[in-house]
A and B are shown apart, each in its own frame.
Chain A
Amino acid sequence: MGTSKSRASTKAAKSAPAIPTRLVPEKTFVLDNGAYTMKAGWACDPSVPAEEALSHCVTIPNAIVKTRDNRIWTGAQLNTHVTDWNEAVFRRPVEKGFIVNWEAQREIWDQTFFEEKATPRNKQLRIAKPEETTLVLTEAPNNLPVLQRNTDEMVMEEWGFGGYARCLGPTLNAWNDVNALFGDPLTKNDAEVSPKDCLLVVDSGYSHTTVTPVYKGQPLQRAIRRLDVGGKLLTNYLKEIVSMRQYNMVDETYIMNEVKEAVCFISNDFTHDMEKTWKANRKREDAQSVVVDYVLPDPNANKKGFMRPHDPLLHAKKKKGALSGLSPEVLSEDVLVLGNERFTAPELLFRPSDIGMQQAGIPDMILQSLSVLPPGLHAALLANVLVVGGNSCIPGFMERLENDLRAITSSECVVRVRRAEDPFRSAWLGGSRFASNREELGKVVITRQEYQEYGSGWATRRFAGLV
Chain B
Amino acid sequence: MFRVELLANTTTHATPGYTYVADRGQAPAKANTAPALGRKRGINNAGKGGDISSRRANAILRHLAELDRENQRDVSIPIPARPAREAGARVSRTKTSSNVRRILVSQKTFRNHIDDEDAAIAAGGGGLSVPVGAAAVGPVIPSRVKAVAATGLAGSTAGTPRRSSTPTAASMTPAGAGVRKKRGSTLATVTTPSTPTPAPATTPAPAPATSEANDAKREDDSQDHRHKILKTEHDSDPLLHSFGPTIPSERIMDRLLSEPALSYHASRVGSPLSTQLPRSFCCMCGYWGKIRCKSCHLRTCGLDCYKVHEDSRCGAFF
Enumerate chain A interface residues (CB-CB to B < 8 A): 7-8, 64-66, 72, 74, 89-92, 95-96, 98, 100-104, 106-107, 110-111, 114, 116, 141-147, 149-150, 153-154, 157-160, 211, 215, 218-222, 224-228, 232-233, 236-237, 240-241, 244-245, 250-251, 253, 274, 277-279, 339-341, 344, 351, 353-361, 364-365, 367-368, 370-380, 408-410, 412-413, 453-458, 460-462, 464-467
B204 near A: Cβ within 8 Å? yes
Q: Return the contact of B276 from the options A89, A353, A453 (Cβ within 8 A).
A: A353
- Known contacts: A144-B127, A232-B68. The answer to whether A410 contacts B134 by CB under 8 A is no
Q: Which of chain A's residues have a CB closer than 8 A to the CB of B90?
A: 110, 114, 116
> Across the two chains, which residue of chain A brings its CB closest to B288?
A274
B130 and A368 contact, CB distance less than 8 A? no
Cα A66 to Cα B76 in complex, Å, equals: 9
Cα A279 to Cα B300 in complex, Å, equals: 13
Q: Which of chain B's residues have a CB closer than 8 A to the CB of A104?
A: 79
> Across the two chains, which residue of chain B brings its CB closest to A354?
B279
B244 and A379 contact, CB distance less than 8 A? yes
> Across the two chains, which residue of chain A brings its CB closest to B171?
A222
Question: A149 CB to closest chain B CB, in angstroms?
Answer: 6
B78 and A454 contact, CB distance less than 8 A? no
Question: A195 CB to closest chain B CB, in angstroms?
Answer: 12
Q: Return the contact of B130 from the options A64, A145, A251, A374 (Cβ within 8 A).
A: A145
B201 near A: Cβ within 8 Å? yes
B270 near A: Cβ within 8 Å? yes
Residue tally, chain B, CB below 8 Å to A: 105
Please choose the segment from B5-13, B14-22, B101-109, B227-235 that sits at the chain A interface, where 4 or more of its residues have CB less than 8 A away: B101-109
Q: Which of chain A's residues have a CB closer than 8 A to the CB of B145?
A: 465-466
Q: Return the contact of A364 from the options B56, B95, B274 (Cβ within 8 A).
A: B274
A215 and B269 contact, CB distance less than 8 A? no
Cα A230 to Cα B271 in complex, Å, equals: 17
- Known contacts: A141-B267, A225-B268. The answer to whether A96 contacts B110 by CB under 8 A is yes
24 contacts between A and B (CB under 8 A): A98-B110, A100-B108, A142-B261, A142-B263, A142-B267, A145-B117, A145-B128, A147-B113, A215-B253, A236-B69, A241-B286, A253-B70, A277-B287, A339-B286, A340-B285, A354-B278, A354-B279, A356-B52, A375-B210, A376-B246, A377-B247, A458-B138, A461-B128, A464-B128
Question: A379 CB to closest chain B CB, in angstroms?
Answer: 6
Q: Which of chain B's residues have a CB closer than 8 A to the CB of A72?
A: 77-78, 80
- Known contacts: A158-B92, A378-B201. The answer to whether A226 contacts B269 by CB under 8 A is yes
Known pairs A245-B286, A358-B271 / 10 extra A-B pairs, C-beta < 8 Å:
A72-B78, A91-B75, A224-B262, A244-B284, A279-B287, A356-B64, A359-B269, A360-B269, A368-B270, A372-B163
Enumerate chain B interface residues (CB-CB to A < 8 A): 52, 56-57, 60, 63-64, 66-73, 75, 77-80, 82, 84, 89-90, 92, 95-97, 99-100, 103-110, 113-114, 116-117, 127-128, 130-135, 137-139, 141, 145, 149, 152, 163, 165, 168-169, 172, 197-199, 201-204, 210, 244-248, 252-253, 256-264, 266-274, 276, 278-279, 281, 283-288, 313
Q: Which of chain A's residues have a CB closer than 8 A to the CB of B68?
A: 228, 232-233, 236
A144 and B113 contact, CB distance less than 8 A? yes
Q: Which of chain A's residues have a CB closer than 8 A to the CB of B278?
A: 353-354, 356
Q: Return the contact of A116 from the options B84, B210, B252, B261 (Cβ within 8 A).
A: B84
Q: Which of chain A's residues have a CB closer than 8 A to the CB of B202?
A: 375, 378-379, 409-410, 412-413
Q: Return the contact of B248 from the options A341, A377, A462 (Cβ within 8 A).
A: A377
Main SS class of interface, B: loop
* Pairs of residues from A and B, 9 with the lowest C-beta to C-beta distance, nearest first: A455-B134, A458-B138, A457-B131, A375-B201, A356-B60, A457-B134, A95-B110, A375-B245, A91-B77
A356 and B63 contact, CB distance less than 8 A? yes
Cα A262 to Cα B32 in complex, Å, equals: 40
- Known contacts: A146-B113, A368-B270, A375-B198. The answer to whether A253 contacts B95 by CB under 8 A is no
Cα A316 to Cα B201 in complex, Å, equals: 59
A222 and B259 contact, CB distance less than 8 A? yes
Q: Which of chain A's residues have a CB closer than 8 A to the CB of B248?
A: 374, 376-377
B103 and A150 contact, CB distance less than 8 A? yes
Cα A375 to Cα B210 in complex, Å, equals: 10
A408 and B274 contact, CB distance less than 8 A? yes
B79 and A245 contact, CB distance less than 8 A? no
A146 and B116 contact, CB distance less than 8 A? yes
Q: Which of chain A's residues have a CB closer than 8 A to the CB of B67?
A: 233, 236-237, 240, 355
B268 and A408 contact, CB distance less than 8 A? no
Q: Which of chain A's residues have a CB closer than 8 A to the CB of B169?
A: 372
A364 and B137 contact, CB distance less than 8 A? no
Q: Which of chain B's residues have a CB closer than 8 A to the CB of A457?
A: 131-135, 137-138
Cα A355 to Cα B52 in complex, Å, equals: 12
Q: Which of chain A's residues have a CB closer than 8 A to the CB of B66?
A: 236, 240
- Known contacts: A224-B261, A355-B64. The answer to whether A253 contacts B269 by CB under 8 A is no
> Across the two chains, which residue of chain A brings its CB closest to B146?
A466
Q: Which of chain A's residues have a CB closer than 8 A to the CB of B245?
A: 374-376, 378-379
